[in-house]
Amino acid sequence: MMQAIYDRLKDRFQLGALDVRSRKGLAFVDLRREFLRPVLTELRDVEGFTHLILLTAVDWIEDERFQLTYLLNNRQKNLDLGLRLRLDRNLAIGETIHDLWPTAATYQRELREMFGIAFPGSPRVDEEFILEGWTDMPPYRRDFDTLAYSQQTHADREGRETSDPREFMKQILYPKD
Amino acid sequence: MFSFQPDRSQYPAPGPDGKLEIDLETGQYLKLWQGPNHPGMTGNMSVELTVCGDEVVEGKTHVGYLHRGFEKLMERRSFIQCFPIVCRICVPEPDFNEYCYAAAVENLAGIEVPEYANWMRTLILEMGRFNSYMMAIGGMSGALGLGVVGQWLTYVRDIMLDRFEELTGARIYHMFILPGGVRGHLPEGFKDRMEEVLKTAERYLADVDKVMFSNAVYKRRTKGVGYIDPKLFEPYGVTGPNARAGGVAKDVRKDAPYLVYDQLDFEVPTETASDIWARTNVRRRDIDVSIDLIRQILKKFPKGGEVMAEIPNVLHWKIPRGETYIKGESSRGEYGYYLVTDGSGYPRRVNVRGPSYTHAMALLELLIPGTNISDVAALMVSLHTYPPEIER
Amino acid sequence: MSFKDVLSPFTAWKHVLETPVTIKDPLTREAADRYRGFHKNDIELCIGCSSCEAICQNAAIDMVPVKDPKEGDSGLRPQIDYGRCCWCALCVDICMTGSLTMSNEYIWFDEDPDAFRFIPGVDAKSWDSSEKGYRREGGRRLSGTERVEMREMEPDLRIGNFDEIVAGYDRAEAVLEADRCVECGLCVATCPAHMDIPDYIKTIREGDYEHGLELLYNSNPFSEVCGRVCTHNCETACAARHEGDPIAIRWLKRHITDQVPYDRYVDIVGKPDLAKTGQKIAIIGAGPGGLTAAFDLARMGHAVTVYEEKEKPGGMMRYGIPEYRLPYESLDRDIGVIEAMGVKIKCGVRIGKDISMEKLKADNDAVVLAIGLHLGRSTRVPGSESPDVEKAVELLRRITAGEEVPVPKKVVVIGGGNVAMDIARSMARLQKQRHGEVGITVTALESFDHFLADEEEVVESREEGIEILDSRGPQEVITVKSGKNKGKVKGLRTWRVDSIFDEKGRFNPHYDEGDEMVHDGEMVIEAIGQVSDVSLLGEKLTEALEWNRGRVKIDHDGRTSEPWLWAAGDCVKGPDVINAVADGHRVAQSINQVLVAMREAKA
């Protein structure tokens, strides 16, 4: 069923290969940026993918890109379809879809705050969402080091000390070898 | 295109950026913070209300009071180390996090879970749903000043927590569903003790029906209030009882059966009014479904069997590159985990889709204008919001 | 809405006289049997492997010293900080021994927050004896308990030849086996050469065999050899053995050497680019001890010459261990790596005869004695002086050297150690080739409960048709008394052993004379231990050296009482390749220190 939908859209929207490796009823497909809106509209209005499950990002920092994942659901056919869109990590500007799904504005506001991905035109996208008074880099980016942040912000409890079994045994049993 | 904007003709029009310019100096308007510490609040969140008289002109949801960045924390924890923290994303119904996370890991690692574990997982999820509804109905009555129902249902929840305790070893954070299966078998005599709990629950619920659902005041304050146009369901990602109250029988248990739901016999309750009353009533009826499901599950429960599949050594468990989305029907609607792996020993990205994310943000802000201050609490509770799943 | 709806809520009043459901005294409420409460630790069972610390996602566990470390026990024990613990019990699930559990206790008051950081099992708590609380169901599941079986040649295929029996793991098998390791490192202390075991096992999981090989040869130039015949003391210290099979460390080591093409070895092992020191070292004996010392010293820039009496280098690895356990090519590959470091090996040179000790001393800055144990001991029972009574080591040497050895149809072996098994199985192969059938009886002094040979040796010997009798003490080699075969051996007479040691622990076997057996055989082979041939030292040096129970006395570093002479390997320690390797390292280290000091003194 997913294959049939894919076949209908593939050529018109130059879709990438259909990735069905995960579970039954779920597929992912790579999407070119310029086709985001037409594909989403077609999927929603023609193919029955009326439910936007979620919109989120994955930071592939080593490839210098963000992946935006638009996860849609067709309830009648019990199909979940994930559209993957690449964004240049150094020019992280996405296209707002709040007019297609108003709830997308919330996701976009979060992505703006947590990943630093801009969505021009999305309502209240620059308002603080979860973080208030945050001045560091967007914290869900891969290069934000939570451990380092925690070590800078909080002190360790005093008196904590641990030993590695191997090193400890060497120290006691065969320090000279 | 959709244009579901509230009628604001009496109030200042929003600017081109969508922001409402309200001049508090005029004395006509007042800012009122409901929450984060407020008995009518569903946990650690708040709604910033702008009121004119006792009518609410605008409401903005504020979250972030308990943001612990779970999704980010998981990126530096091994696959097994994520297991103890996912439950904390939803306190009243933590088991969905355990199930969705475990199932996502199993999916990407190619692990087949034993039959026994699937039954156990279903049982736990239904017990969790039951308890979550206890809080929801109790909270609903509390939000309207009917305290006794909250007390009764807290007791019922408590005796169900006793069953959780003997089954999983903990009352709140059960940590029983881990990647590969579940941690143990049913204790001796569990079925009988569970039956007692269900019988007690039914007795209390009969009282709740009389005291709450057949209560003139309750009816007056909930019927016709907090209406959600079913046309909004798809644009605003409305799922679960909130959608079922508007006549849409959305339920992942039926739409995309997982675990052993295809072997269980149940109907999804729906209402049509799509108001506070209808939403609460759907939940009330879904409790009966849950009770029935728990009975069915225990009746059909496998006599024995493996609780865990064989999994690799968890201390250096690596999962091949891939991504998946696993969902289930929580008491509030579609709950899901989007897991991305990159071949390392840590998740590349975990995204938790909690139903409150859509219900209590964009939707609530849409519903609030035009309501009476005293109805805001009831409206919020009727959407059944758990803030941690908004923040994750 | 009806009038009924107005009245209906008042039905709540019917509960007004009911007993409250609240728990009257919550402080004494007992939690469920499975409850995850405060931890307990069976301190004697715990081995301090730190798996609990490794899995704790909250970093709530520290490993703290509690007792002295010993084999397979780090002496560390987990201390839990309850300010961080989230009660998930993964530490209980991962525990390698099952020592760590939880009680169902959850109520505890204390004004001192530091009281909530303690060492379960060491800091006494009221719940220490509690029977209730979380235990994992059905054993350890979070890391593998079963060893990946090693494929071996079937007995009927292997008995007629000396081909290697063990097939070695393929990649998939090795990864599965390597996956079971929890990287505690308890094995490192137990390995005489302190090899980087967890690290090289990790390279298997990651497929980085070249790094694995580098780690191996860093600490053991006989990794190919040890990957096959090591006594694997590490496996007896393995954390996994408490609830399951120990990790097959030896086979994993072999797997790494199998995976790297030999022409890459020298590049990977690497020859340090050091200036030549100009200092010379002579090593007597090209066994594992001598060659390891040579390997290290050559890599330190010294000129090393190894003198070997026999035709080929390798010592007991070549002339003692049968080919079906250790093919000569494997040994030659390891020796090839050592030679590539610049070590000169001169075979067929007997010190004391071809070159005197005095000359060696005069020509070199240091000399290492690594002559091994090549003389077999005799039982000295009546008849043992017969020419048909052979010594196991001597016979093994002749088989390796390709010399003709007598192969009678029935042979009796005296001894219960690995050498006894080696000669029995070697002779069995020759019998099969010569006569088409096996006729070997092994008589061991020890009972099977306290057997000296490895379990797998016993199993495989039996598979090959060898009869092994335990608790048999040799009394007489029976010879033909008259006729044309006069003097020929026709069997061994034994008594049953009641005990081997007396109350003071001295060797003093006690027999049941009523239980006598005669084992037929035209040859009796004694395999009851070996001694060193120290005649090469010469009278003067023998006099000058300090001795300890028939062995040259050495200090911790292997140095003898003569400052220019070190001793290493079997001749000063027990018979064991890996111990000899460790000795070689120790001696090389010590010699280098002395030589550096000598250089500095001159400069």
For residue B41, pLDDT beyond 80: no
Judge whether C88 and C100 are in contact, CB under 8 Å. no
| Chain B residues within an 8 Å CB radius of C15 | 207
Q: Cβ of C74 and A160 within 8 Å?
A: no
| CATH at C188 | 1.10.1060.10
Nearest CA in chain B to A128: B62
Rounded to whole angstroms, how far apart are CA atoms C96 and B36? 46
Q: Confidence class of residue B13 from pLDDT cuts 50, 70 and 90?
A: low
* pLDDT reported for residue B7: 56
Q: Are strands B55-62 and B177-178 parallel, antiparallel or unpaired?
A: unpaired
* pLDDT reported for residue C189: 95
Residue C525's DSSP bridge partners are C390, C413
At CB < 8 Å, which residues of chain A contact B?
21-23, 25-26, 28, 50-54, 56-59, 69, 71, 75, 78, 80, 82, 99, 101-103, 105-106, 123-124, 128-132, 139-140, 142, 144, 146-147
C549 lies in some domain: yes
Q: b/e string for A65-76 if b means 16 or more Cβ within 10 A?
A: bbbbbbbbbbbe
CA distance C247 to chain A (A): 17
C359 and C395 inside one domain: no
For residue B4, pLDDT beyond 50: no
List pLDDT tens digits, range C224-271. 999 999 999 999 999 999 999 999 999 999 999 999 999 999 999 998
C303 and C246 inside one domain: no
**Which runs of E-coded beta strand occur in chain B?**
30-34, 46-52, 55-62, 177-178, 181-182, 322-330, 333-341, 347-353
Measuring CA to CA, which residue among B33, B47, B180, B37 is closest to residue B103?
A: B180
Full residue range of the structural domain in which residue C189 is found: 161-268
What is the rounded average pLDDT for all residues in chain B? Answer: 91
Number of structural domains found in chain A: 1
Averaged over B320-343, what is the pLDDT? 95
Rounded to whole angstroms, how far apart are CA atoms A35 and C180? 48
| Chain A residues within an 8 Å CB radius of C85 | none
List pLDDT tens digits, range C9-49. 999 998 889 888 888 888 889 999 999 999 999 999 999 99
User: How would you write chain A as a 3-class SS string?
Assistant: CHHHHHHHHHCCCCCCCEECCCCCCEEEEEECHHHHHHHHHHHHHCCCCCEEEEEEEEEEHHHCEEEEEEEEEECCCCEEEEEEEEEEHHHCECCCCCCCCCCHHHHHHHHHHHCCCECCCCCCCCCCCCCCCCCCCCCCCCCCCHHHHHHHHCCCCCCCCCCCHHHHHHHHHCCCC
B326 in reach of chain A (CB within 8 A) = yes
C14 lies in some domain: no
The single-letter DSSP state of residue B209 is I
CA dihedral (C406, C411, C412, C414) positive or negative: positive
Other chains touching B, judged by 3 or more CB pairs under 8 Å: A, C
Radius of gyration of chain C, Cα coordinates, nearest whole angstrom:
31
For residue A6, pLDDT beyond 80: yes
pLDDT above 70 covers what percent of chain A? 100
Radius of gyration of chain A, Cα coordinates, nearest whole angstrom:
23
Q: DSSP states of C72-114 as a string?
A: TB-SEEEEEETTT-----HHHHH-SSS-EEE-S------S-GG
C197 lies in some domain: yes
C525 and C433 inside one domain: yes
For residue C168, pLDDT beyond 60: yes
Q: Cβ of A174 and C76 within 8 Å?
A: no
Averaged over C99-122, what is the pLDDT? 94
C327 and C440 inside one domain: no
Residues ≥6 apart with Cβ < 8 Å to A107: A54, A55, A56
Domain B70-355+373-391 -> CATH class: mainly alpha
List pLDDT tens digits, range B74-114. 999 999 999 999 999 988 899 999 999 999 999 999 999 99
Q: Cβ of C53 and A162 within 8 Å?
A: yes
For residue C1, pLDDT beyond 90: no
| Chain B residues within an 8 Å CB radius of A58 | 323, 340, 348-349
C259 and C166 inside one domain: yes
C2 lies in some domain: no
Q: How many CB atoms lie within 10 A of CB A80?
A: 25
| Chain C residues within an 8 Å CB radius of A174 | 189, 194
End residue of a domain, out of C213, C244, C268 = C268
Q: Cβ of C194 and A160 within 8 Å?
A: no
| Chain C residues within an 8 Å CB radius of B211 | 8-9, 11-12
C336 and C384 inside one domain: no
Number of structural domains found in chain C: 4
- B246 vs A75, B139, B219, B220, B280, CA distance in Å? 16, 21, 17, 19, 12
* pLDDT reported for residue C549: 83
pLDDT above 90 covers what percent of chain C? 84
* pLDDT reported for residue C191: 95
| Chain B residues within an 8 Å CB radius of A106 | 357-358, 361-362
Judge whether A146 and B76 are in contact, CB under 8 Å. yes
Give the strands of the sheet with C76-81, arranged side by side.
C61-65, C76-81, C117-118
Other chains touching C, judged by 3 or more CB pairs under 8 Å: A, B
The SS3 assignment for C375 reads strand
Range from A72-76, A78-82, B41-45 carrying the lowest mean pLDDT: B41-45
Averaged over A82-108, what is the pLDDT? 94
Q: Cβ of C205 and B77 within 8 Å?
A: no
Q: DSSP states of C280-322 as a string?
A: EEEEE--SHHHHHHHHHHHHTT-EEEEEESSSSS-THHHHTS-
* pLDDT reported for residue B202: 96
Residues ≥6 apart with Cβ < 8 Å to C220: C193, C195, C226, C292, C578, C581
Q: Confidence class of residue B28 from pLDDT cuts 50, 70 and 90?
A: confident
pLDDT above 70 covers what percent of chain C? 100
For residue B354, pLDDT beyond 60: yes
Averaged over C503-520, what is the pLDDT? 91
* pLDDT reported for residue C517: 94
Question: H or E stretch including B162?
Answer: helix B147-168
* pLDDT reported for residue C20: 87
List pLDDT tens digits, range B181-208. 999 999 999 999 999 999 999 999 999 9
* pLDDT reported for residue B18: 59
For residue B1, pLDDT beyond 50: no
C334 and C468 inside one domain: no
Averaged over B213-236, what is the pLDDT? 92
| Chain A residues within an 8 Å CB radius of C592 | none
Q: Cβ of B235 and A103 within 8 Å?
A: yes
B211: left (phi over 0), alpha (psi -120 to 50) or beta: alpha
Residue C65's DSSP bridge partners are C76
* pLDDT reported for residue C483: 85
Judge whether C452 and C352 are in contact, CB under 8 Å. no
> Where are chain B's structural domains?
70-355+373-391
Rounded to whole angstroms, how far apart are CA atoms B114 and C373? 57
C477 and C380 inside one domain: yes
C483 and C400 inside one domain: yes
To which residue do tokens 């210098």 refer? A64
Range from A168-172, C315-319, C479-483 carrying the lowest mean pLDDT: C479-483
| CATH at A86 | 3.30.460.80
Of C63, C83, C189, the CB nearest to A162: C63
Judge whether B224 and B275 are in contact, CB under 8 Å. yes
Averaged over A43-67, what is the pLDDT? 96
Q: Cβ of C186 and A165 within 8 Å?
A: yes
Structure tokens at C364: 């070199």
List pLDDT tens digits, range C409-457. 999 999 999 999 999 999 999 999 999 999 999 999 999 999 999 998 9
Full residue range of the structural domain in which residue A79 is found: 2-173
B274: left (phi over 0), alpha (psi -120 to 50) or beta: left
List pLDDT tens digits, range B102-147. 999 999 999 999 999 999 999 999 999 999 999 999 999 988 888 8
Task: State the first-to-last Cα distance of chain C, in angstroms, to the nearest integer.
Answer: 111
C495 and C517 inside one domain: yes
Q: Cβ of C75 and A168 within 8 Å?
A: yes
What is the rounded average pLDDT for all residues in chain C? Answer: 93
C568 lies in some domain: yes
Judge whether C54 and C44 are in contact, CB under 8 Å. no
* B contact test, residue of C141, C208, C247 with most B CBs within 10 A: C141
Burial level of A18, CB count in 10 A (0-12/13-18/19+)?
middle
Rounded to whole angstroms, how far apart are CA atoms C98 and B135? 39
Judge whether A103 and B363 are in contact, CB under 8 Å. yes
C510 and C595 inside one domain: no
Judge whether C561 and C553 are in contact, CB under 8 Å. yes
| CATH at C68 | 3.30.70.3270
The SS3 assignment for C127 reads coil
For residue B5, pLDDT beyond 50: no
List pLDDT tens digits, range B280-317. 999 999 999 999 999 999 999 999 999 999 999 999 99
Rounded to whole angstroms, how far apart are CA atoms B273 and C601? 101
DSSP alpha helix (H) spans, C357-417: 357-363, 392-401
Judge whether B56 and B34 are in contact, CB under 8 Å. no
